Structure 1
């Protein structure tokens, strides 16, 4: 998965020579994403998996972006991504759209949303062109290019859309993950199954003839392997991976 990179420039310009390498040392696709956006006056880009109900977090879905690191971290802490205007609008239609609205805030129009809008604008993300695409494995992705443009001609919209589609086809993303990165043990799966059945840690301990402390340890280990923040999310992801 590609790392998000802080441009490190006060004027928010994107340096095409900056390090955007993934874990394997590849940087060609990310550089082309930067070049594609800059060619149309939209120097900031974001590529993310379309969030699922059990995985709405920003960093959990992030594939690649060149937002300033501080902006990325602050945004992740708000838990707004899965419930953002961006995701909401892309659920309603497939056509690319341009807007000067802050897509990354929620639709609640709260004081925190207003603060978030000012934060993004202060970093140079004033307007955005957004769309979603599917790869050959039918995985669903979000693409957003942002900058300060007042408008974007339809010709530029088309070039950004088909440029992103080409990069997706060339290998922006990897084959879908059909299970957790680390195999769950038989005991971890047993504890998850009984949790899914509504049993408490104490009840599972009696059923499996182990201590409650051991049950909690197994569940915490399962949560880590499934990249989950609680039991409910771990059960949901285990079901999605057809482990239960």
Structure 2
């Protein structure tokens, strides 16, 4: 059984190595992690705690879009206990290993809200890069099935994927998207402020069909599955603000 797991790990790493884009790499990573019930993930560098543009360090985003938007709006990053643990420890850990009794109320709120968005259990793999800031691959789901013997395999896969994506980013081969037009940014900004399509049409003097057409173009440019996902991606590219 262990040999089978190691064989699957090498096969996954081989497919990740041959991926020609960040999207292809992340698809293979997602598939490999799903075997352990880990459906959601984030792969990112960890800048200083009070860096308000920390999201520029993200290499791979597999979080639920609604949770990403909540995390950004509530400014959870400086208070995230997983982030704090990753800064100080090189060892992988499960979310439930964090000392809940010593968590500040704000840190506990981050974990409680993550559970509300289908991420009750998770794993973090801290990555400490020489001459650079730390990073992390975190993966979670409502329930996970990760025996202790699988943790070294998961750690290997996470570290390899992080390095592969970092290499693409450094070489300028990461997945890019066309910039939004001024009108698209304006329209998405109103959506980020909670306005409906009908509201936006009225504010901008457009028809509802035109607003919906703009939204389709925005989702296409950002490779977003819905408006919330588009807002998150635009925020991370600093094309809109909240």
TM superposition score normalised by structure 1? 0.52
Asked whether the equivalents of residues 50 and 78 of structure 2 are also in contact (C-alpha less than 8 Å), the reply is: no
Secondary structure in 2 aligned to 1:27? helix
What are the Cα deviations for residues 166-216 of structure 1, in whole angstroms up to 9, with x where unaligned?
Answer: 223333452299xxxxxxxxxxxxxxxxxxxxxxxxxxxxxxxxxxxxxxx
Matches within 5 A, 1:1-244: 26-53=22-49, 55-100=51-96, 107-110=103-106, 113-114=108-109, 116-134=110-128, 138-149=132-143, 152-173=146-167, 174-175=169-170
Secondary structure in 2 aligned to 1:144? strand
Q: What is the number of equivalent residue pairs in this alignment?
A: 151
Asked whether the equivalents of residues 46 and 145 of structure 1 are also in contact (C-alpha less than 8 Å), the reply is: yes
- Looking at structure 1, the residues matched to 146 and 113 of structure 2 have their Cα atoms a distance apart, in angstroms, of 23
More RCO (CA 8 Å, sep 6+): 2
TM superposition score normalised by structure 2? 0.52
Give the unaligned 5+ runs of structure 2. 1-19, 173-237
More helix, by proportion: 2
Question: Larger C-alpha radius of gyration, 1 or 2?
Answer: 1
- Looking at structure 2, the residues matched to 134 and 102 of structure 1 have their Cα atoms a distance apart, in angstroms, of 19
The alpha-carbon deviation at position 83 of structure 1 amounts to 3.0
Secondary structure in 1 aligned to 2:104? coil
What RMSD in Å do the two structures reach over aligned CA positions? 3.3
- Looking at structure 1, the residues matched to 112 and 130 of structure 2 have their Cα atoms a distance apart, in angstroms, of 38
- Looking at structure 2, the residues matched to 135 and 89 of structure 1 have their Cα atoms a distance apart, in angstroms, of 16
